[in-house]
Amino acid sequence: MILDGKTPTGPIEKTWDKHRFDMKLVNPSNKRKFKVLVVGTGLAGGAAAASLGELGYNVEAFCYQDSSRRAHSIAAQGGINAAKNYPNDGDSIYRLFYDTIKGGDFRAREADVWRLAQVSNNIIDQCVAQGVPFARDYAGYLDNRSFGGAQVSRTFYARGQTGQQLLLGAYSALSRQVKAGTVKMYERTEMVDLVVVDGVAKGITCRNMITGEIKSYWGDAVCLATGGYVNVFYLSTNAMGCSVTAAWKAAQKGAYFANPCYTQIHPTCIPQTGDHQSKLTLMSESLRNDGRCWAPKNKEDCDKAPGDIPEEDRDYYLERKYPSFGNLAPRDIASRAAKEQCDDERGVGPGKRGVYLDYATAIERVGEHTIKERYGNLFEMYEKITDENAYKRPMRIYPAPHYSMGGLWVDYNLMSNIPGLFVLGEANFSVHGANRLGASALMQGLADGYFVIPYTIAGYLATVTPGTVTDEHPAFKESKEQVQAQTDKLLNIKGKKTVSEFHRELGKVMWEDVGMARSESSLKNALQRIPEIRDEFWKNVNVTGSGAELNQQLENAGRVSDFLEFAEVFTIDALHREESCGGHFRTEHQTDDGEAMRDDENFAYVAAWEFKGAGKAPELHKEPLKFDNVKLAVRSYK
């Protein structure tokens, strides 16, 4: 099937304004009759729940943490983009739009990206009004820095904790609505099923993570803002609880999953120290503004202390390969380059999976004091984890899975192919194409939550009668029974391997075969291994305890079982996409000097997969991408 993204037509700079005018509205006195469920209270969900509650809808919001303030948005360090052009350095909505399309390697929808760039400025205003303490200059104006390969300074930040401050802003708006009674908050409540009635999303089924009770909630619309899925790699920069579960339950009920193979590997993470490792810690990308990446030129030098390797025996590989961008080359390029050094057996540190990020030159140039002022907290964090002082000895870094550009397919209104099911933030696939630029995810989450969904959901709700289906409907009972059956099944296997062992095994396959560089043979190998692991999981997993209690093993088992199904569709997508673009690098499709080769003639489309059951071939639906406002070009950072 050819999918329709329902993008408005006409001059791009008018599309969003015109669309807002064309959409139906819900009469203010009717709003409270509509119940909207918002799953997830990160930047996207928190902003959405607060804004919809304030508009007068009857909102119920859910998160798996013990407080809505703890969503993984909290961990974002670097900053948030907006086209304010405060520094007067040539930024504009058009430039932010263009950079995002180009950064995404021409695999995103133009109109969605335009809208994002357009509302980016409102986001900054909104957050300032909430009391978000962005960095300021001495005159009291908002400060900007350049970030992640952008040639203008458009990134707003709050020390190294931008995500935290933005999330606390959204959390404060949400708290205000909870107090006002427009939003009912359900913490420690995990969505484990989507309820669909006659093809329309009408509710969710959740597990109360304290009592284990399985309960359904009905709504006239369901918004999923449940974050990304890179924990499919086991080790990633995501929080331990991040999972594909909510999105995957929707996929099991017919929602299409778009571009799952587009995942971002972040170049500057602290390398793994051993098998005990449970997660990887990101070091902000801003570190590359002053740090220089290098690896020893000779294998024999890898075990030497870095200070004992003379200048001429160091390979500053990014500066060598990309003279004009150097250490600021985009994430996918920097990550692959680090991997190349290590594959060439010139890596450093435990397991030889690491390269150096060196501040000696910068310290010489601007002094240790300035470096401390810029990155003090990051150096401190590095020292806590590695016990090494990065002022004296170069940091060791290695790429790690970080962000998922793919996600549930949505149209311009953020509605999936299931009417009534909206998807926001990292959970959808919409604006980042095949690669996301730094500081653009926070922007997208808040754009979706504050400024897009409040309009587009009205366009949908105005076409339905509120409360026609409630949890009395048999579909809810059926959903609960299904969840209960799944829980019982997991608990009754009583096998020999722990849930973590399976997750680690899956992660290893995904990282090695479907990670930074993918080939037909590695992908085929993964397609053989994943079902094997999944089959063994269902025969041999040991989930301790019972369903009717706080049971972290059971929570985790549910998430891993979903990853085991999802991973296969992910790999199929990677295999089918016979090109290299953004975060998706197929070794067969590269130039002689190792650069990615896109195939616009055959692959300028969104691949949306319809799940048909575990082990069955999913069906591919395509949404062709048209570019009327930018010229398709080879993404070069040389």
Partner 1 sequence: MDLTLHVWRQSGPKDKGQLETYPAKGISPDMSFLEMLDEVNEQLIKTGKTPIVFDHDCREGICGTCSQTINGKAHGGQDRTTVCQLHMRSFKDGDEIFIEPWRARAFPVIKDLIVDRTALDTIMQAGGYVSCHTGGIPDGNAHPIGKPVADYAMDAAECIGCGACVAGCPNSSAMLYTSAKVAQLAVLPQGKHEAKARVKNMTDALQAEGFGNCTNHLECEASCPKGISVKFIAKLNREYMKAVVS
Ligand X SMILES: Cc1cc2nc3c(=O)[nH]c(=O)nc-3n(C[C@H](O)[C@H](O)[C@H](O)COP(=O)(O)OP(=O)(O)OC[C@H]3O[C@@H](n4cnc5c(N)ncnc54)[C@H](O)[C@@H]3O)c2cc1C
Binding residue for partner 1, selected from 70, 396, 559, 577, defined by CB under 8 A: 70
Q: Which of 171, 357, 392 is nearest to 282 (CA)?
A: 357
- Using rule CB under 8 A, residue 141 touches partner 1: yes
The single-letter DSSP state of residue 209 is T
Give the nearer residue to partner 1 in terms of CB position, either 209 or 418: 209
Give the nearer residue to partner 1 in terms of CB position, either 170 or 329: 170
CA distance 591 to 199: 46
- Using rule CB under 8 A, residue 20 touches partner 1: no
- Using rule CB under 8 A, residue 434 touches partner 1: no
Question: Is 14 in contact with 118 (CB distance < 8 Å)?
Answer: no
CA dihedral (235, 236, 242, 244) positive or negative: negative
Q: Which of 231, 257, 607 is nearest to 421 (CA)?
A: 257
Q: Nearest approach, Cβ of 65 to ligand X (angstroms)?
A: 5
Give the nearer residue to partner 1 in terms of CB position, either 5 or 53: 53
Q: Nearest approach, Cβ of 438 to ligand X (angstroms)?
A: 6
CA distance 266 to 571: 20
CA distance 623 to 604: 9
Catalytic residue among 207, 314, 331, 577: 331
CA dihedral (174, 185, 34, 464) positive or negative: positive
Q: Nearest approach, Cβ of 425 to ligand X (angstroms)?
A: 2
Span near partner 1 by CB under 8 A; candidates 268-276, 365-373, 422-430, 567-575: 268-276
3-state SS, residue 321: helix
Select from partner 1, ligand X, none the partner in contact with residue 42, using the beta carbon and a kind-dependent cut-off of 5 to 8 Å.
Answer: ligand X
- Using rule CB under 8 A, residue 142 touches partner 1: yes
Give the nearer residue to ligand X in terms of CB position, either 380 or 532: 380
Cβ partners under 8 Å of residue 541, min gap 6: 490, 493, 495, 497, 498, 499, 502, 557
Query: Interaction with partner 1 in 524-543: which residues (CB under 8 A)?
Result: 542
- Using rule CB under 8 A, residue 84 touches partner 1: yes
Binding residue for partner 1, selected from 20, 279, 297, 393, defined by CB under 8 A: 279
Span near partner 1 by CB under 8 A; candidates 61-69, 318-326, 563-571, 602-610: 61-69
| Range list of H helices, 367-431 | 368-386
CA-based R_g, the chain, Å: 24
Query: Interaction with partner 1 in 177-236: which residues (CB under 8 A)?
Result: 178-179, 185, 187, 210
Find the residue with minimal CB distance to ligand X: 42
- Using rule CB under 8 A, residue 281 touches partner 1: yes
- Using rule CB under 8 A, residue 544 touches partner 1: yes
Q: Nearest approach, Cβ of 464 to ligand X (angstroms)?
A: 24
Give the nearer residue to partner 1 in terms of CB position, either 20 or 622: 20
CA distance 282 to 260: 22
Select from partner 1, ligand X, none the partner in contact with residue 97, using the beta carbon and a kind-dependent cut-off of 5 to 8 Å.
Answer: none
Residue 118: what are its φ and ψ, rounded to 5°? -65, -45
Q: How far is CA 279 from CA 40, 235, 236, 392, in A?
A: 21, 5, 6, 26
CA distance 12 to 190: 39
Span near partner 1 by CB under 8 A; candidates 169-177, 417-425, 456-464, 601-609: 169-177
- Using rule CB under 8 A, residue 75 touches partner 1: yes
Give the nearer residue to partner 1 in terms of CB position, either 64 or 256: 64
CA distance 309 to 315: 11
Q: Nearest approach, Cβ of 300 to ligand X (angstroms)?
A: 35
Count of alpha carbons within 13 Å of 596, Cβ hemisphere only?
A: 30
The tokens describing 180, both together, are 């006002």
Give the nearer residue to ligand X in terms of CB position, either 349 or 558: 558
Select from ligand X, partner 1, none the partner in contact with residue 445, using the beta carbon and a kind-dependent cut-off of 5 to 8 Å.
Answer: ligand X
331 is catalytic: yes
Give the nearer residue to partner 1 in terms of CB position, either 272 or 417: 272
Q: Nearest approach, Cβ of 258 to ligand X (angstroms)?
A: 15
Binding mask 30-59 for partner 1 (x = CB under 8 A): -----------------x--xx--x-----
CA distance 500 to 534: 13
Give the nearer residue to ligand X in terms of CB position, either 420 or 449: 449
- Using rule CB under 8 A, residue 493 touches partner 1: no
Provide the binding-site residues for ligand X, judged by CB under 6 A.
39-45, 62-65, 71-73, 75-80, 162-163, 190-191, 225-228, 237-238, 242-243, 245-246, 282, 402-403, 425-427, 439-443, 445
CA distance 612 to 254: 8
3-state SS, residue 584: strand
Cα angle 502-504-506, degrees, rounded to a multiple of 5: 70
Select from partner 1, ligand X, none the partner in contact with residue 246, using the beta carbon and a kind-dependent cut-off of 5 to 8 Å.
Answer: ligand X
Select from ligand X, partner 1, none the partner in contact with residue 441, using the beta carbon and a kind-dependent cut-off of 5 to 8 Å.
Answer: ligand X
Give the nearer residue to ligand X in terms of CB position, either 73 or 335: 73
Select from partner 1, ligand X, none the partner in contact with residue 569, using the beta carbon and a kind-dependent cut-off of 5 to 8 Å.
Answer: none
Q: Nearest approach, Cβ of 180 to partner 1 (angstroms)?
A: 9
Query: Interaction with partner 1 in 316-375: which residues (CB under 8 A)?
Result: none
The tokens describing 497, both together, are 């391997």
Span near partner 1 by CB under 8 A; candidates 173-181, 217-225, 341-349, 359-367: 173-181
Instruction: Give the number of other Cβ atoms within 10 Å of residue 54's Cβ.
Output: 17
| Range list of H helices, 131-187 | 162-180
Question: Is 417 in contact with 409 (CB distance < 8 Å)?
Answer: yes
Q: How far is CA 309 from CA 271, 325, 329, 345, 536, in A?
A: 21, 25, 25, 16, 48
Q: Nearest approach, Cβ of 330 to partner 1 (angstroms)?
A: 24
Q: How far is CA 245 from CA 91, 145, 279, 557, in A?
A: 39, 36, 19, 11
Residues annotated catalytic, as ranges:
331
